[in-house]
Amino acid sequence: MRDAGADEQSSASEAGSSREGAMEEPVGARPSVVIVGAGFGGLRVARGLSPAPVDVTILDRHNYHTFVPLLYQVATAGLEPEEIAQPIRRILRGVPNVRFRLNTVMVVDLDRRAVITDAGEVRYDYLVLAAGSTTSYFGLDSLAQVTSALRDLDDAERLRDQVLGAFEAASAEEDPSRRRQLMTLIVVGGGPTGVELAGALAELRRQVLPHDYPDMDLSWARILLLEATDRILPGMPKALQGKAQAKLSELGVEIRFGAPVANADADGVTLRGGETISAGAVMWVAGMRAPPLADAVPTAKDSAGRLVVAETLHLPSHPEVYAIGDMAHVGDPETRPHPMLAPVAIQQAALVAENILRSLAGKRPKRFVYRDRGTMVTIGRNTAVAHIFGLRLSGFIAWLIWLTVHLVWLIGFRNRMLVLVNWAWNYLTYDRGVRLIRRASSRQHVSNGDEEAP
């Protein structure tokens, strides 16, 4: 990757002083910084610039920030959607130089230094692209129609509806083979999200559903975790992968390795070898890629559509435009990117705020160095695996650390309290209080082959 040298430096400094083209939005005489996305990265940039002499506009398609790591708990009826979301305006309350706009950004015009949104154009002196990621179907885009993803609150609620809807349909089904089918849940992808989701579904089946459906034989219910490779939790030490696998098996999750999904329809999935598996719900958590907005930025991308940025986190040809978090690939696109994790986005955001201030002060930008403090994954009640600060932890201790970190990390005191109360309730009562089916269309996933009566 090319060095962030003097040429980059001077153009970055120019960016700060360029006030060409009257801005449509009324801003003061100070440089304007536009941030796209109020996720982990975008909010951290805004905070880093809060004491600075710049006007910051943060744009997001939602008026709330989502705490994505707990989405799977919404999907499995453990938490309410509102408990893991926080209004962006509340988060930014009391930060005088930052304002929020509820806009979806559709195009970035690098030459005119403008972003085109669903409500018009916003001009910038500096732009920070932090729009996260979207589900990747690895070219099998038709799967989006028949599987449930898990990337935002809508997905989580839809997934919950689909799982609970499948059991409702099973309870009314006379035909034993269709009943078995409806009670089969498939999770595709053995990464952290797939493991957490499969574990939570297994607990739902064991601890909650038998009380809801006393007349159903829940031993028919299956949870299958399909993984294309020969291991779950890639990136974790082998010993921890083994512990996670053992715990999932203990919970009754069937793990199938070397099982790449080639197709799916309303009746289940087809593996690449031709085997079909019938199911009541198929959950696709096999991969992520850059969000649609990345396609609308005319610059180099990697194979997952992420914007390739210099080590100082700006686009090589536009030093006034930064990309961070899930949508950025730092350095050579042929090398392995940083993992799509919140700490990566947060650390990059802190550096971007600093580099914008350095640019304004005429200083050279700094390079990004990721400080990896580790990862952790919870598998179920009292069990997690954690590889943190070089330590390999599993079981109850890892689970307690996981709980504490996620609680502290969650934004907002009210949300922390609500989540804590819900967790305590679920733990003590073995219950999941949020078993609501909100969308009628989710009530039956499996096609019955007959035309529906009008």
Ligand X SMILES: Cc1cc2nc3c(=O)[nH]c(=O)nc-3n(C[C@H](O)[C@H](O)[C@H](O)COP(=O)(O)OP(=O)(O)OC[C@H]3O[C@@H](n4cnc5c(N)ncnc54)[C@H](O)[C@@H]3O)c2cc1C
61 binds ligand X (CB under 6 A): yes
157 a catalytic residue: no
List 31, 48, 81, 132, residue binding ligand X (CB under 6 A): 132
Instruction: Choose the binding region for ligand X from 61-69, 78-86, 301-309, 358-366 (rule: CB under 6 A).
Output: 61-69
Considering only 18, 50, 97, 104, the residue that binds ligand X (CB under 6 A) is 104
**Distance (Å, rounded) from C-alpha 101 to C-alpha 71?**
24
Q: Which two tokens stand for residue 9?
A: 């430096």
**Cα 325 from Cα 345, distance rounded (Å):** 4
Site residues (CB under 6 A) for ligand X, limited to 176-205: 193
Tell me whether residue 117 or residue 422 sits nearer to ligand X (CB atom): 117
Q: Does 345 bind ligand X (CB under 6 A)?
A: yes
Examine residue 387 and tell whether it contacts ligand X (CB under 6 A).
Answer: no
Catalytic residue chosen out of the listed positions 8, 80, 157, 196? 196
Nearer to ligand X, 104 or 136 (CB): 104
Whether 402 and 385 have beta carbons less than 8 Å apart is answered as no
Residue from 54, 59, 264, 385 binding ligand X (CB under 6 A)? 59
Residues between 234 and 293 with contacts to ligand X, criterion CB under 6 A: 291, 293
Position among 163, 183, 281, 340 found at the interface with ligand X (CB under 6 A): 340
Q: Of 32-40, 245-253, 393-401, 436-444, which segment contacts ligand X by CB under 6 A?
A: 32-40
| Least separation in angstroms between CB 90 and ligand X | 15
Q: Which of 15, 58, 79, 130 binds ligand X (CB under 6 A)?
A: 130
Choose the binding region for ligand X from 9-17, 20-28, 36-44, 419-427 (rule: CB under 6 A). Answer: 36-44
State the minimum distance, in angstroms, from the CB of residue 130 to ligand X: 5
What residues contact 107, with CB distance under 8 A and at least 6 apart?
115, 116, 296
Scan for tokens 């060095």, then name that residue: 3
Interface region with ligand X, contact rule CB under 6 A, candidates 69-77, 159-167, 178-186, 430-438: 69-77
With binding defined as CB under 6 A, does residue 39 bind ligand X?
yes
d(CA 298, CA 285): 28
Residue 268's beta-bridge partner residues? Answer: 265, 278
The reply on whether position 225 binds ligand X by CB under 6 A is no
Please list the residues that pair with 73 across neighbouring strands: none
Site string for ligand X, 72-101 (x = CB under 6 A): x-----------------------------
Q: How is residue 122 written in tokens? A: 């916003």
The span of 164-172, 220-228, 341-349, 354-362 binding ligand X (CB under 6 A) equals 341-349
Residue nearer to ligand X on the CB measure, 105 or 170: 105
Smallest distance, Å, CB 53 to ligand X?
A: 25
Interface with ligand X (CB under 6 A): 36-42, 59-62, 68-69, 71-72, 104-105, 130-132, 150-151, 193, 291, 293, 325-326, 340-343, 345
